[in-house]
Amino acid sequence: MKEKKKQITFGKVDIAKSHFLLTYSEKPADQWRPVGVLSNADYVDDMRLSILIHDIKDKPILDKMLRELHFYLFELKNKNNIDYLHVHIASLSNVAYGPIHFSFIPKIDKHNIFYFIETECKLMGIYNTAPVTILQERYVDVVVNNLFGYALDSANQFDGAVYNENIIMLNSYIFNAMPAASNFIIDDALSLVEFSKKLAELDIRDFCNIINYLRKIKLLKLKDVKTMLVFFAANKKLHHNFKTCS
């Protein structure tokens, strides 16, 4: 009887636990684009794959990812292919000799909390939904209003006290309220200074992911979204030279 060909099993990956991140780049020097997450397990048959891109034009990338996964998980004749995957991650071939790259995420802490939020948004289907577009449009309105000197509210949105209040609130949402709502623990939070500089590195799409995720788990109300976007614009303005100075 012909042996049934083994296949990757798709499923929701709990990225609050240890897992593998799969990224894609045409050339090693290009930005590595996240394309999938693979759960960590003791046995290959217990592993699950979630994809992070959903556009039909990305099918060739997904095909390459599946071929690569099938090779490392099923075709190699090692005693433990999962252990070999860890060896591959640390090798030059993972970086230089193919478009699919593997990383291992052992836990979520202050160093990768923004990775968690963005990836969780993609897994929850927030990333490509209409609310993100709406938030981007509102953000553009905020920027245009500020450029032309129109006051959005009676209070100055770029005032230091308003800025501090908003950054403390958002920091508390992410590092205090979100772990309780999402049922995982972050080892230690960023300081407010570190947090502010980290926010300054985000683009609007990433920030919309954070806002949408906080709304999805019922931590942020819709009426607070515009305030957070104005705060984000202020943060970008305050720290626009951060990368060149650090």
> What local confidence, expressed as pLDDT, does residue 235 receive?
86
* Nearest one of 158, 19, 23, 26 to 82, comparing CA atoms: 19
Which tens digits make up the pLDDT trace of 168-187?
999 999 999 999 998 888 88
* Backbone Cα Rg of the chain: 21
* Nearest one of 130, 110, 111, 137 to 212, comparing CA atoms: 130
Lowest mean pLDDT among 149-163, 167-181, 209-223: 149-163
Write down the pTM of the prediction.
0.84
Taking residue 174's Cβ as centre, other Cβ atoms within 10 Å add up to 23
Mean local confidence (pLDDT), 93-104 = 90
CA distance 199 to 114: 9
What is the sign, positive or negative, of the torsion defined by CA atoms of 36, 201, 244, 191? Answer: negative
Half-sphere exposure of 46 (CA within 13 A, CB side): 6
Between 111 and 146, whose confidence is greater?
111
Boundaries of every domain in the chain: 19-105, 113-245
Angle CA(19)–CA(187)–CA(165) in degrees, nearest 5?
Answer: 115
**Contact between residue 225 and residue 135 where contact means Cβ atoms under 8 Å apart:** yes
Percentage above 90 pLDDT, the chain: 42
Rounded to a whole number of angstroms, the distance between the first and last alpha carbons of the chain is 63
Percentage above 70 pLDDT, the chain: 86
Strands (E), the chain: 19-24, 33-39, 49-51, 100-105
Phi–psi pair at 100, nearest 5 degrees: -100, 125
Taking residue 189's Cβ as centre, other Cβ atoms within 10 Å add up to 17
Q: Is 107 helix (H, G, I), strand (E, B) or coil?
A: coil
